[in-house]
Structures are given as C-alpha cells and as structure tokens.
Structure 1
Amino acid sequence: MDETLGRVEALGGSVRSGPNDMPWGRRVAHIQDPDGNPVNLTRPIPAR
C-alpha cells in the first residue's frame, strides 16, 4: 500500500489519512484523487 500511496501523490492526488492497521485485520488509507473525489483503499494485513 505504501507504494500505491506514493503513486497517488506523484500523479496529483493526496493522502488524507493512513495507512492504518485496523483491529479487524485490514490496512486502510483515505486518499483524494486529482479531481477532489474521496477514495478509500483497504487490503488485508499480511500474516506475520
């Protein structure tokens, strides 16, 4: 997800919050695309 967030910023979007590991086993980030639309990104937390 960190690589994806870097690409978001490189392409004109912005990271609004995160990434954060949630207690229910998901990693979550909130971004805004270049047009101002909010987008939520989520993925499973990798097993350790």
Structure 2
Amino acid sequence: MQQAYPMALGIFLGLLISSGIAAVIMRNTVSESQAIVNSTQVASVVLSDR
C-alpha cells in the first residue's frame, strides 16, 4: 500500500501538469501563467489535506 501511494501521487501530478498545459494552449493569453499558478495552488491544497 505504501508503494502505491507515490505512484498515485505521480499520476496525480502528471494529470495536473497536462491539464495545466491544456489550459495554456486553449487560452494562449497573458492569463495562461495565472492558470498554472491556480492549478498549482489547488494541488498544494489537495496534498496538504491528505
């Protein structure tokens, strides 16, 4: 079970990064960096809840 946690965490971060990149590609504006910051903040909140 302890070995599955880092793998799940890696998958979660991978999905987060890919969704952040997708948001950047769809918006393609000055607010693209803000979208990445927001998704990073959400990730830190989710990880701190665990």
TM-score of the alignment, normalized to the shorter chain, above 0.5: no
For normalisation by structure 1, the TM-score amounts to 0.35
- Which structure: larger Rg? 2
- Select the structure with the greater relative contact order (CA < 8 A; seq sep ≥ 6): 2
1 or 2, which has the higher helix percentage? 2
1 or 2, which has the higher strand percentage? 1
For normalisation by structure 2, the TM-score amounts to 0.34
